């Protein structure tokens, strides 16, 4: 074996070894995200007659055609494994977390069992954290106490993002 | 709104989750390509042509990989796709390095006109096959990892017996000053390796039951919340047993691994940092005591601090190992082109320095990243697991693997004093290889149940919340 061939083999092997490591890391990264063919599951459609069939609303421009007269009517999951889920709003509290008795049961390693609660107070929906590990976030800042939630503001719990919709 | 109508029942599959078995197949092909390239490069560099046994050995390895992949498809099809390829890569690289050192021995024997010792790569290959068979046996026998929790105390008993077996009069054997071998007939085995897994099962089962009292009941001492006196019992028992291993079997590595694993699992189970502080205090106390009272510990520390003081005798190994790393440099000498055979025990205890010499820092880092990936997948499995026992078991198995790699690589590179642990999957030695394949089998079983989408949501509220930093 000539010196040159051996040197090429030597460096080639190192490249091959790192190629394997990088492929492994790519697979690993992909594993952290939800699969691309994830199909959202609609739990309950917005209870308005004539509204189009609910599908995964991806952006804020994807609002229902007819705006309603008063406050928000539904709570929509816009990101995360449950994306597309629509929760019609009434007057009852909404609890978020992994506990099976939550209103929205999150199957999310980053969410706590009893993560946060959204309550209707004087016509405003107010979100409060229930001592979660990773906190409750409104528009990218972690809330310290009960925080009023306006339409279009993004509420983040674990890897799930929710929005109030009219 | 009537509450509850919008609650998605937890077990509903939310999307079609891929099993990722084809990903695993692809990665296994890549792993095999890397391993075979290493093996062939050894032959080309040392002989200029393929050795006569290279093709059969590589075929056997290919058959073994096919076997393990087929078994996973049948028995654990939702399991993690990265674990086994990463393990296989390291295992084949280990075989290639042992083959390389075999060739060095043959060449030296030819030069000196002596008789070459029989090649070790065959026995290592046999142990690999046995390890893979036992990996499959684990997948077959343990259909649900939660059944293992029933054997918590059986595992403790068996684990302690295995740990102490080398001290037994007839079967026990002392090799190089450490009493960790059992011999019957011509076969020798290190029971400590299996004890490691059994004790991990015991720790996981024990902490599943007691973690609440260990986590919640605190007494305040000087403003710091500390566990009650009686809750400290298990920690002290673990400390005494590991000190006992150190004193009577003179095995620094197992002692360290055993205690470190228990403290780490206490922390995982309770999420209280005070256990880590207590563990560190106990560890330092034990280390100082051992240094003061035992000659062999003092020798290890002295050699660690002054590797070139007594280079010809006591620190010969570590000094040669450091020379190996140094001559390897960044890119290494290339497989088959260095002199790793100059380090004593290059096939077993010092195989990492053989790789450091021939693959250089760049190659060794790639291998360490692979270990990191294995540990990461294990901890990821622990997080995804739905029950506490599985979480603790998966965490324990991956932490013990990580600790072992840290202790070995730290030892041969003189970051910490040298201890006698084996490098998982790389080093020559059947007990360690077989035990580590069994551990990976358990991890795959837990991972299978954690990733299976239609699994019933078992005790979801008991699963820990993963901490995310934003």
Contact B16 A11 (CB under 8 A): no
Predicted pLDDT of residue B457: 40
Q: Which of B31, B57, B20 is nearest to B42 (CA)?
A: B57
Asked if B245 and B163 count as a contact pair (C-beta separation under 8 A), the reply is yes
Tell me the shortest Cα–Cα distance from A65 to chain B, in angstroms. 23
**Could you tell me if residue B10 is inside a domain?**
no
Asked if B167 and B179 count as a contact pair (C-beta separation under 8 A), the reply is yes
Domain hosting residue B420, numbered range: 145-453
**Could you tell me if residue B242 is inside a domain?**
yes
Say what the ipTM of the complex is: 0.83
Predicted pLDDT of residue A51: 40
Mean pLDDT, residues B89-118 taken together: 91
Contact B366 A14 (CB under 8 A): yes
Q: Tokens representing B98?
A: 């042992």
Residue of higher predicted confidence among B396 and B289: B396
Contact A16 B33 (CB under 8 A): yes
Tell me the shortest Cα–Cα distance from B50 to chain A, in angstroms. 12
Predicted pLDDT of residue A64: 41
Cβ–Cβ contact B452 with A under 8 A: no
CA distances (Å), origin A12, targets A15, B44, B98, B356, B465: 5, 14, 21, 17, 43
CA distance A91 to B375: 47
- Enter the pTM of the model: 0.77
Q: Which of B342, B300, B309 is nearest to B325 (CA)?
A: B342
Q: Does the structure show a pLDDT above 50 at B3?
A: no
**Could you tell me if residue B288 is inside a domain?**
yes
Per DSSP, the residues of B83-114 read HHHHHHHHHHHHHHHHHHHHHHHHHHHHHHT-
Predicted pLDDT of residue A60: 44
Q: Tokens representing B55?
A: 């093709």
CA distance B442 to A142: 39
By Cβ distance, the residue of B7, B34, B45 closest to A6 is B45
Predicted pLDDT of residue B17: 63
Q: Does the structure show a pLDDT above 50 at B444?
A: yes
Q: Which residue does chain B place closest to A110, by CA atoms?
A: B466
Q: Does the structure show a pLDDT above 50 at B185?
A: yes
Lowest-confidence pick of B12-26, B71-85, B358-372: B12-26
Residue window 88-107, chain B: list those with CB within 8 Å of chain A.
89
By Cβ distance, the residue of B6, B373, B467 closest to A104 is B6
Per DSSP, B166 falls in state: G
**Could you tell me if residue B33 is inside a domain?**
no
Contact A18 B6 (CB under 8 A): no
Contact B369 A21 (CB under 8 A): yes
Q: Which residue does chain A place closest to B376, by CA atoms?
A: A28
**Could you tell me if residue B76 is inside a domain?**
no
CA distance B201 to B191: 16
Predicted pLDDT of residue B222: 62
Predicted pLDDT of residue A45: 38
Local structure of B270: helix, strand or coil:
helix
pLDDT band of residue A62 (cuts 50, 70, 90) is very low
Cβ–Cβ contact B330 with A under 8 A: no
Element (H, E) at B224: strand B224-227
Q: How confident is the prediction for chain B on average, in pLDDT?
A: 85
Q: State how far Cα B388 lies from the chain centre.
A: 22
Contact B44 A113 (CB under 8 A): no
Spell B431-467 as b/e; 16+ CB within 10 A means b: bbbbbbbbbbbbbbbbbbbbbbeeeebeebeebbbbe
Tell me the shortest Cα–Cα distance from B196 to chain A, in angstroms. 28
Q: Strand A94-97: give its sheet, edge to edge.
A: A104-105, A94-97, A116-121, A124-129, A147-149
* pLDDT tens-digit readout, A116-157: 899 888 888 899 888 888 889 988 888 888 888 888 888 998
Q: Report the domain count for chain B.
A: 1
Q: Does the structure show a pLDDT above 60 at A54?
A: no
**Could you tell me if residue B195 is inside a domain?**
yes
Q: Which residue does chain A place closest to B334, by CA atoms?
A: A10
Contact B362 A14 (CB under 8 A): yes
Cβ–Cβ contact B331 with A under 8 A: yes
**Could you tell me if residue B188 is inside a domain?**
yes
**Could you tell me if residue B26 is inside a domain?**
no
Predicted pLDDT of residue B404: 93
pLDDT band of residue A111 (cuts 50, 70, 90) is confident
Q: Tokens representing B24?
A: 């695993």
Contact A103 B4 (CB under 8 A): yes
Q: Which residue does chain A place closest to B14, by CA atoms?
A: A41
Contact B15 A88 (CB under 8 A): no
Residues of B in contact with A9 (CB under 8 A): 41, 44-45, 334
* Phi, psi (degrees; rounded to nearest 5) at B10: -55, -40
Contact B460 A132 (CB under 8 A): no
Contact B16 A99 (CB under 8 A): no
B25, exposed or middle or buried, with CB in 10 Å at 0-12, 13-18, 19+? Answer: middle
């Amino acid at each position: 074996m000539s010196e040159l061939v051996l040197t090429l083999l030597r460096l080639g092997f190192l490249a091959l070894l790192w190629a394997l490591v990088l492929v492994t890391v790519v697979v690993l990264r992909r594993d952290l995200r939800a699969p691309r063919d994830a199909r959202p599951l609609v739990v309950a459609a917005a209870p308005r007659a004539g509204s189009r069939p609910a599908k995964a609303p991806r952006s804020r421009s994807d609002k229902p055609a007819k705006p309603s007269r008063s406050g928000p009517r539904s709570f929509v999951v816009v990101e995360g494994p449950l994306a597309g889920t629509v929760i019609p709003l009434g007057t009852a509290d909404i609890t978020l977390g992994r506990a099976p008795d939550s209103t929205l049961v999150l199957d999310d390693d980053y969410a706590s069992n009893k993560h946060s609660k959204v309550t209707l107070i004087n016509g405003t929906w107010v979100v409060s954290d229930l001592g979660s590990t990773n906190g409750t976030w409104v528009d990218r800042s972690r809330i310290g106490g009960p925080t009023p939630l306006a339409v279009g503001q993004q509420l983040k719990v674990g890897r799930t993002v929710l929005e109030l919709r009219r | 709104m009537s509450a509850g109508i919008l609650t998605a029942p937890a077990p509903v599959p939310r999307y079609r989750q891929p099993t990722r078995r084809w990903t695993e197949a692809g990665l296994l092909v890549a792993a095999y390509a890397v391993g075979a390239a290493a093996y062939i490069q050894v032959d080309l560099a040392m002989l200029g042509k393929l050795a006569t046994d290279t093709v059969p050995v590589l075929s056997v390895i290919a058959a073994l990989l096919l076997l393990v992949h087929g078994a996973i498809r049948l028995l654990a099809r939702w399991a993690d796709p990265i674990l086994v390829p990463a393990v296989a890569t390291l295992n084949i690289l280990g075989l290639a390095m042992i083959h390389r050192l075999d060739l060095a021995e043959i060449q030296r024997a030819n030069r000196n006109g002596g008789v070459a010792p029989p090649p070790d790569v065959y026995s290592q290959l046999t142990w690999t096959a046995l390890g893979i068979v036992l990996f499959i046996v684990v997948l077959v026998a343990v259909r649900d990892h939660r059944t293992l929790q029933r054997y918590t105390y059986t595992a403790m008993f068996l684990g302690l017996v295995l740990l102490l077996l080398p001290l037994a009069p007839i079967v026990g054997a002392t090799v190089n000053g450490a009493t960790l071998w059992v011999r019957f007939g011509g076969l020798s085995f290190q029971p400590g390796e299996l004890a490691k897994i059994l004790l991990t099962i015991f720790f996981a089962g024990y902490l599943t039951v007691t973690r609440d009292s260990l986590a919640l009941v605190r007494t305040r001492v000087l403003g710091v919340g500390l566990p009650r006196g009686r809750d400290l019992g298990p920690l002290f028992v673990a400390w005494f047993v590991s000190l006992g291993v150190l004193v009577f079997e003179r095995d620094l590595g197992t002692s360290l691994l055993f205690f470190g694993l228990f403290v780490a699992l206490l922390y995982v189970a309770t999420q209280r940092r005070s256990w880590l502080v207590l563990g560190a205090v106990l560890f330092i106390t034990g280390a100082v005591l051992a240094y003061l009272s035992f000659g062999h510990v003092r020798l290890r520390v002295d050699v660690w601090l002054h590797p070139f003081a007594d280079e010809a005798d006591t620190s010969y190994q570590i000094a040669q190992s450091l020379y190996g790393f140094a001559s390897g440099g960044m890119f290494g000498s290339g497989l088959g082109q260095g002199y790793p055979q100059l380090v004593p025990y290059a096939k077993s205890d010092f195989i990492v320095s053989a790789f450091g010499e021939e693959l250089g820092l760049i190659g060794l880092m790639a291998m360490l990243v692979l270990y990191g990936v294995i540990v990461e997948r294990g901890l990821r499995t622990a997080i995804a697991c739905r029950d506490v026992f599985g979480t603790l078991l998966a965490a324990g198995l991956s932490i013990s693997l990580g600790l072992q790699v840290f202790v070995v690589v730290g030892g041969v590179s003189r970051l910490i004093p040298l201890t006698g642990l084996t490098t998982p999957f790389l080093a020559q030695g059947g007990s360690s290889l077989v035990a580590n394949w069994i551990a990976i089998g358990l991890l795959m079983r837990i991972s299978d149940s954690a990733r299976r989408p239609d699994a019933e949501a078992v005790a979801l509220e008991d699963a820990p919340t993963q901490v995310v930093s934003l």
